[in-house]
Structure 1
Amino acid sequence: MSKESKEQLKKRLTSIQYAVTQENGTEPPFQNEYYSKEDDGIYVDIISGKPLFSSLDKYDAGCGWPSFTKPIVEEEVIEKEDYSHGMIRTEVRSKEADSHLGHVFNDGPGPNGLRYCINSASLKFIPKSELEKEGYGSYQKLFD
Structure 2
Amino acid sequence: MYNPLNTEEQRVILHKGTEAPFSGEYENFFKKGVYVCKQCNTPLYESTSKFHSGCGWPSFDACIQGAIKEQLDADGRRTEIICAKCGGHLGHIFFGEGFTEKNTRHCVNSIALIFNGE
Conserved in 1, the CA contact under 8 Å of 2:34 and 2:46? yes
Conserved in 2, the CA contact under 8 Å of 1:108 and 1:115? no
2:115 — aligned with what? 125
Q: 2 CA distance for matches of 1:108 and 1:26?
A: 23
2:72 — aligned with what? 81
Higher gyration radius (CA): 1
So what's the TM-score if we normalise by structure 2?
0.91
Query: May I ask how many residue pairs the two structures share in their alignment?
Result: 117
Match 1:41 to one of 33, 41, 65: 33
Structure with greater proportional helix content: 1
Tell me, which stretches of 5 or more residues in structure 1 are unaligned? 129-144
Conserved in 2, the CA contact under 8 Å of 1:78 and 1:94? yes
> Cα RMSD over matched residues?
1.5
Query: Percent identity among equivalent residues?
Result: 35
**Runs in 1 of length 4+ with deviation above 3 angstroms?**
108-111
Tell me, which stretches of 5 or more residues in structure 2 are unaligned? none
Does 1 or 2 have the higher relative contact order (CA < 8 Å, sep 6+)?
2
Is the counterpart of residue 110 in structure 1 residue 100 in structure 2?
yes
So what's the TM-score if we normalise by structure 1?
0.76
Structure with greater proportional strand content: 2
Conserved in 2, the CA contact under 8 Å of 1:45 and 1:51? yes
AA of the residue aligned to 2:59? S
Residue-by-residue CA offset, 1:102-122 (whole Å, 9 max, x unaligned):
000012533431000000111
